[in-house]
Amino acid sequence: MSGIALLLTQSLLYFGVMAVLFRLRHAMGLGAFLCALGVMHFLETYLAAVFFIQLPFGLLSPGSTVLFSGKLAIILLFYIREDAETVRQPIYGLLIGNFLMVALVATLRLYGPPVSLQGYNPDLALINQMGVLMVWGTTLLFIDAIALILVYERLRSLLPRSGVLRAGLSLAVILTFDQAAFFVGLRWVTGTPFDALIGGWIAKMAAALVYAVYIGLYLTLFERKRLEAAPEPLADIFHKLTYRHKYEELLGKSSHDVLTGALTRERFEALGPAMLSESYAGGRRMSLLILDIDHFKAINDRFGHVVGDAVLRRAGECLRAEIRAQDRMFRYGGEEFVLLCDGLPSAGAMNLAERLRSTVQDVLAREFEAAPTVSIGVATAPEDATTLPDLLNRADSRLYVAKRQGRNRVVGASGGEG
């Protein structure tokens, strides 16, 4: 097999398997995907150090050209289809896992020469070299992965409609940096000739193009209907990738509302479009319920904010107890909650909303002198709207119909009351 054919075959096999695992992440979980992503780093480093092939433009290693470049491409795809807070998990997992491996190998050297086995002599010099290269390569991978995402987002304003071109340019920039930086360590440890620097760089530029095409094909064939997340400031993305959140920001902006336990409005804006796209891709309905506690300001004014907070907390508990495991609950405003219910058609959403209204009324009337009630607006995609903002607006308009009709009621399609 020729050198170019070998590289293309390896790249297709690598990306193909990883893409299948990534596509099955909602069915299998991310564990299989992340394990497969992580286990090959030693092989990448080993091949990058000792296995080269000669092509007309110079020496190159499949470990560096195919496997390492492919890992960065997979991390970028992971970010494109998830978010910074999710993709940082494999980035830090790779960093910690590879340093742990080096530390464990180093402790073995404390024993002294190992017992010799007939027909086999351990290559301790290779272990020493690999340890140095693993540390250097792991550090570069961490830097590369974060920088890759930031460059990709920086190019968004210049190339807003071409994700594939952004991916290719981002990979080219980061792989250029990585090729120069890793070669410094490679040259120092193994004496690799300069021919490998030029040959490897040319090969990595080709790899950037090939993997960008693979990313484009995957997105087109398998997740075309999913919307790309809305752009965020680079500083916010960097803070998420590097865990530079304050504790309050981590609770308030990234995950759950402290008072009610519901997901925050920021999580609604981040997760909602992806959930709606997944629902479309699977041919399912998705219902959105917006719920508001009636006369909540009057409760605060009459009984105080401590009671008001207790009402909100108890209402959140009631809602969580009634919704399905796959439903998502968000605290959208002061006394407003939003529910996203994948796979729930309009009739089922109306039934759920009426059950929520009745439960909240019964529980809060027993526990609070104010006897709070709730009003709920319901909308279902795609009948009522095809985008998340339109779906939210439709449900919100129905919520206000419920308010005008006297509160403590559910309003769905065509002003129908539950």
Closest by Cα among 205, 160, 197 to 179: 197
pLDDT at residue 106 in the model = 77
pLDDT confidence of residue 382 = 93
Summarised one tens digit per residue, pLDDT across range 320-373 is: 999 988 899 999 988 999 999 999 999 999 999 999 999 999 999 999 988 899
* Average pLDDT of the chain, as a whole number: 86
The distance between the two most distant Cα atoms of the chain, rounded to a whole number of Å, is 89
What does the pLDDT read at residue 252? 46
Q: What is the pLDDT of residue 228?
A: 61
pLDDT in tens, 70-125: 999 999 999 988 888 888 888 888 888 888 877 887 787 777 777 777 776 666 66
For domain 3-109+125-222, the question of CATH label 1.10.3470 is answered with no
Integer Cα distance of 14 and 141 in angstroms: 18
Whether the per-residue pLDDT at 217 is higher than 60: the answer is yes
pLDDT single digits (tens) 35-79: 888 887 777 777 776 788 888 877 788 888 899 899 999 999 999
Cis upstream peptide for 113 (omega within 30°): no
Q: Is pLDDT above 80 for 417? A: no
Q: What span, in angstroms and rounded, lies between the C-alpha atoms of 270 and 266?
A: 6
Class of domain 264-415: alpha beta
Note whether 179 and 200 are within 8 A (CB): yes
Share of the chain above pLDDT 70, in %: 90
Amino acid (1-letter code) at residue 147: A
CA angle 46, 14, 169 (to 5 degrees): 90
Instruction: Give how far Cα 311 sits from Cα of 70, 277, 334, 406, Å.
Output: 52, 34, 12, 20
Question: Tokens standing for 334?
Answer: 């002061």
Q: What's the average model confidence in pLDDT over 8-34? A: 88
- Residue 237: per-residue pLDDT: 82
- Bridge partner list, 58: 55
Instruction: State how far the Cα of 2 lies from the Cα of 53, in Å rounded to an integer.
Output: 10
pLDDT tens digit sequence for 123-138: 666 666 667 777 888 8
pTM for this prediction: 0.58
Q: Is the distance from CB of 289 to CB of 338 less than 8 angstroms?
A: yes
Domain map of the chain by residue range? Answer: 3-109+125-222, 264-415
